[in-house]
Chain A
């Protein structure tokens, strides 16, 4: 049991930390494309400098993401050996595609983006930024497809009863495309990519706001902010539509998870209508949600388009999946992480509208309240993405593969708990150091500003004798 808990903690720590960087860098990768495209049109040196500035911050972010990403691949073997034995035929072929098709595209062209300034033509530099963005997006697509397969498995050989037909303790691949495009892949990847764009836009917006508040590099900051605010608003609107689509898929495929999101312990009857909670404190022990504030019948309507539709509660959904009470997902964590994500989604929509309104009246730089909120909210996109993932991954417990394999059966049971404890502490320490170094470096690079960027060479130039 200790090994299970420690392995889960380690996975949570390593994935939560890793996810910060690809989430931000995928968003920045597409913003780089926009900034460079604007430069291709204007050919102005200021626009080139602006692009290089954001590309440099992107490069710093990407490096940490790439480095910490290797951990995720290796952990399948080191911490989740029995999961690998059990499901390798299903989840590994997509990972091979991720490495050979997506990672290489991204990794090869990022070399040009970061080290090729002044060494390649501007056209090739632009093409590289597109390649990097495509590679990053494809990488995200495949890893999210693998996670989706674990949530809504498909494409494996079934026996007469609909259970997986095993061969030597292995699930057998039947249809690769069914496995990759399983029922939750498309809503989940769309939802995730939009979250990445919101995160990238929020980051650019926050840093630009800092310059405007300090009355430094205002022209540069206004240009960056003008692009970021449009991306932020468009994505925030789209996210409500896509988020709803994704939730409908959860309603259908993972009723236990939905009930955990909503803190709904008891099923509601036909005609009763389930309320949508704005707030509440779920008490898992007593199977009741206290201090409820909600909109009557709204959950039934959102989930089924019918105010009177019955919604399955945790108790019935768990019984349906043969999950005993001690294995229920943490309702408190699912409920609050889901609600935090929703609150931030609301914030981004309102904030984006405000920003566009100010932009239209050409008053973006004048509203110090807007700028201060932009600065504070720079990491909100990340927080929303992180709590969204938490909700998705905690809510689906106790399953590592929905309905097929429990998390507690997926571990490396021959690894002593002490060793996992050592590695957890090791990663916590390492990641704290990396966080400090990353934040310090970004802060310094922002203080140095776009003027410190060399237009003719890579960032090693002029730093030879340090």
Chain B
């Protein structure tokens, strides 16, 4: 088994989709997690800023799941079945917050408002934590085995073992980071009242994000590795040690968060750029630390020492899973879909993006342009818009 060009391209593509979801789904979730901590006067404006977009943003999450299933189906099958209850909770959180966005302002009764406010706010808090915990566990490594049918899997028995300190830290980071990004989105698009409020919350969230990012970084490098409850993910440091230019990603993440503090208080757009660059840094850091692995095996992570990017041909990294006697580590080679499927999937994905980009940009411009003069649009009435 050799690593092929298509596998590398798909690794990059999945990374890009993860980045786009963390940017678009990120502000969407972030606005939701701030919702319950905002005044009732600010809330309708906040909902209006995600209302037209939540659907497309959520499709990016489906595209991420579908993209992983298309490119590295073993990763999709192993994690989604292994994280079973956590995935079910992700779905519940997602459903509640989506339905809340569309239902909340349909009726005016106090009970109705309270219920859907709670669903939107709590769903938006639970969702990033769960997604972060899932990512943290995957990076830290999972106890992978080969099941009776010859496919990789892991025992989903211990739901609470997913809640190890390392992964929980990643989950909290996702929550705080998205909330910060949501602040920056509202700062760019919201009304004056909302902007004043997020300008107060933003610096705190940025500071906590930065602190958590550094703590997770240190934990990753110094916390050891393996299947211990307290273990970090030292195996993720190898790529950086072998190829130091990769440090550009964590530096970009830190730089983005620091840039936020330097951006002027009155600027609408600069803080948003800060969190966009920071997102690029964070997602890049995840990709750089994993490549060419996708899911390390926490039970054997001590036994092998991939020497980094040049280790493509190492037997352990590319060993055929189904015929392997070793406990598998999922890599971009052995977890990949068949080559024709990778090619067809890639063509479709690129075609989809080419079609989607123009109208997505068009619709965002329509809504965000009008956001500046909503009052004018409403008072002038619809009749003039015919």
Q: Taking beta carbons and an 8 Å cutoff, which residues of A are in contact with B?
A: 43, 56, 59-60, 62-64, 66-68, 70-71, 73-74, 76-79, 81-82, 84-85, 88-90, 92-93, 95-101, 103-112, 114-124, 131, 167-170, 172-174, 176, 409, 412-416, 419-420, 422-423, 426-427, 430, 434, 437, 441, 444-445, 455-461, 463-466
Q: Which of A88, A107, A456 contacts B341 (CB 8 A)?
A: A88
**B321, A101: Cβ atoms under 8 Å?**
no
**Can you list 28 A-B contacts with CB-CB less than 8 angstroms, sorted by A residue number?**
A67-B98, A70-B61, A74-B80, A78-B81, A81-B151, A88-B341, A95-B66, A97-B348, A99-B63, A99-B352, A104-B59, A104-B352, A105-B355, A110-B55, A118-B378, A121-B385, A172-B338, A173-B338, A413-B148, A419-B85, A426-B92, A434-B99, A441-B107, A444-B106, A457-B378, A463-B105, A463-B108, A464-B41
What residues of A have a CB within 8 angstroms of the CB of B154 in the complex? 414
Residues of B within 8 A of A120 (CB): 366, 370, 385
B251 within 8 A of A: no
Q: Are the C-beta atoms of B156 and A84 separated by less than 8 Å?
A: no
**Distance between Cα atoms of A437 and B338 in the complex (Å):** 44
Chain B nearest CB from A439 CB (Å) reads 12
A residues in contact with B326, CB < 8 Å: none
Give the residue among B48, B98, B103 with the most A Cβ atoms within 10 A: B103
B344 engages A173 (CB within 8 Å) = yes
Measured in the bound complex, the distance between the Cα atoms of B211 and A175 in whole Å is 51
Contact B359 A108 (CB under 8 A): yes
B92 A430 Cβ-Cβ under 8 A: yes
Q: How far is the CA of A440 from the CA of B379 in the complex (A)?
A: 32
B262 contacts the other chain (CB 8 A):
no
* Neighbouring A residues of B385 by C-beta, 8 Å: 118, 120-122
Binding site for A on B (CB under 8 A): 40-41, 44, 47-48, 51-53, 55-56, 58-59, 61-63, 65-67, 69-70, 73-74, 76-85, 87-88, 90-92, 94-95, 98-99, 101-103, 105-110, 112-113, 147-157, 159, 320-322, 334, 337-338, 340-341, 344-345, 348-349, 351-353, 355-356, 359-360, 363, 366-367, 370, 374, 377-378, 381-382, 385-386
A455 contacts B69, CB within 8 Å?
no
**Once the chains bind, are A119 and B377 in contact (CB under 8 Å)?**
yes
Chain B residue nearest to A97 (CB atoms) is: B348
A216 to B62, CA, bound (A): 43
Whether A78 touches B88, Cβ cut-off 8 Å, given contacts A84-B73, A92-B73, A96-B349, is yes
A70:B95 contact, CB within 8 angstroms: yes
Residues of B within 8 A of A123 (CB): 386
Contact between chains at B360 and A104 (CB < 8 Å): yes
How many contacts A-B (CB < 8 Å)?
Answer: 295
Bound CA–CA A409/B321 (angstroms):
19
Alpha-carbon gap, A168 to B323, bound state (A): 8
If A115-B367, A412-B81, A437-B103 touch, whether A99 touches B69 (CB-CB below 8 Å) is no
Q: List the A side residues contacting B90 at CB < 8 Å.
A: 74
Write the chain A residue with the least CB distance to B116: A437
Within the complex, what minimum Cβ distance (angstroms) separates B371 from chain A?
9
Q: Which of B47, B147, B321, B385 has the most CB of A within 10 A?
A: B385
**Secondary structure call for the B interface:** helix
Smallest CB gap from A125: residue in B = B385
Shortest CB distance A388–B (Å): 25
Q: Which of A84, A98, A174 has the most CB of B within 10 A?
A: A84
Q: Give the secondary structure class of A's interface.
A: helix
Q: Which of A81, A100, A422 contacts B348 (CB 8 A)?
A: A100
Contact of B340 among A172, A445, A457 (CB under 8 A): A172
Q: Is the Cβ of B351 less than 8 Å from the Cβ of A77?
A: no
In-complex Cβ contact of B149 among A78, A106, A108, A409 (8 A): A409
Contact A108 B378 (CB under 8 A): no
Q: Which of chain B's residues have a CB closer than 8 A to the CB of A460?
A: 44, 47-48, 51, 105
Contacts of B41 in A (CB 8 A): 464-465
Q: Closest CB of chain A to B12's CB: distance in Å? A: 16
Residues in B with CB closer than 8 Å to A79 are 81
The 4 closest A-B pairs by CB, nearest first: A100-B352, A77-B80, A111-B52, A88-B73
- Can you name the residue of chain A whose Cβ is closest to the Cβ of B43? A464
Chain A residues contacting B80 (CB-CB under 8 Å) are 74, 76-78, 81
Let me know if A466 and B344 touch, CB within 8 A: no
Q: Closest approach, in angstroms, between the C-beta of B340 and any C-beta of chain A?
A: 5
> How near does chain B come to A61, taking the closest CB pair, in angstroms?
10
Q: Report the Cα distance A172→B157, complex, angstroms.
A: 32
Decide: B153 and A81 in contact? CB cutoff 8 A.
yes
Among candidates A70, A112, A172, A414, residue contacting B363 with C-beta atoms closer than 8 Å: A112
Across the interface, name the chain A residue whose C-beta is closest to B150.
A169
Q: Is the CB of A67 within 8 A of B99?
A: yes
Verify A85–B73 contact, CB threshold 8 A.
Answer: yes
Whole-angstrom CA separation of A459 from B51 in the bound complex:
11
Find out whether the CB atom of A60 lies under 8 angstroms from the CB atom of B106: yes
- Which A residues are in CB contact (< 8 Å) with B334? 168
Question: Smallest CB–CB gap between A116 and chain B, Å?
Answer: 7
**Given A60-B103, A85-B73, A108-B356, do A426 and B338 touch, yes or no (CB 8 Å)?**
no
Given contacts A93-B341, A460-B44, contact A111 B51 (CB under 8 A): yes
B95 pairs with A68, CB closer than 8 A? yes
Q: Which residue of B lies closest to A414 (CB)?
A: B153
- Would you give the shortest CB distance from A169 to chain B, in whole angstroms? 5
Is there contact, CB below 8 Å, between B381 and A412? no
Which B residues lie within 8 Å of A122 (CB)? 382, 385-386
**Contacting residues, chain A, for B337 (C-beta < 8 A):** 88-89, 92, 170
Give chain A residues whose Cβ lies under 8 Å from the Cβ of B106: 56, 60, 441, 444-445, 459
Whole-angstrom distance between the Cβ of B327 and the nearest chain A Cβ = 14
Nearest-neighbour CB distance to chain B for A451, whole angstroms, equals: 15
- Decide: A119 and B367 in contact? CB cutoff 8 A: yes
Query: Which among A85, A124, A413 has the highest number of chain B CB atoms within 10 Å?
Result: A85
Contact indicator B59/A103 (Cβ below 8 Å) = yes
Point out the residues of chain A lying under 8 angstroms from B40, CB to CB. Answer: 465
- Complex Cα gap A445–B293 (Å): 52
Q: Given the complex of chains A and B, what is the CA–CA distance between A416 and B108 in angstroms?
A: 44
CA distance A231 to B66 in the complex (A): 35
Q: Is the CB of B147 within 8 A of A414?
A: yes
A70-B91, A173-B344 known; A441 vs B103 contact (CB < 8 Å): yes
Closest Cβ–Cβ distance, residue B322 to chain A (whole Å):
5
**How distant is the Cα of A413 from the Cα of B152 in the complex, in angstroms?**
11
How close is A51's CB to chain B, nearest CB, in angstroms? Answer: 12
* A275 CB, nearest partner CB in chain B, Å: 43
Min CB distance A77 to B, Å, is 3
> Per a CB cutoff under 8 Å, which of B52, B62, B95, B109 touches A73?
B62
Contact across chains for B76 and A96 when beta carbons are under 8 A apart: no
Complex Cα–Cα for A169 and B338 (A): 10
Q: Would A88 and B356 count as touching, CB distance under 8 A?
A: no
| Chain A: minimal CB distance from B106 (Å) | 6
| A101-B355, A414-B147, A430-B95 known; A170-B338 Cβ under 8 A | yes
- CB B16 to nearest CB in A, in angstroms, measures 12
Check A96 against B66 for contact (C-beta < 8 Å).
yes
**B149 contacts across to A, CB distance below 8 A:** 82, 85, 169, 409, 413
Q: Is the Cβ of A96 less than 8 Å from the Cβ of B105? A: no
Q: Does B348 lie within 8 Å of A416, measured CB to CB?
A: no
Docked CA distance A170–B342 (Å): 13
Known contacts being A67-B98, A168-B320, A414-B156, is A93 close to B48, with CB within 8 Å?
A: no
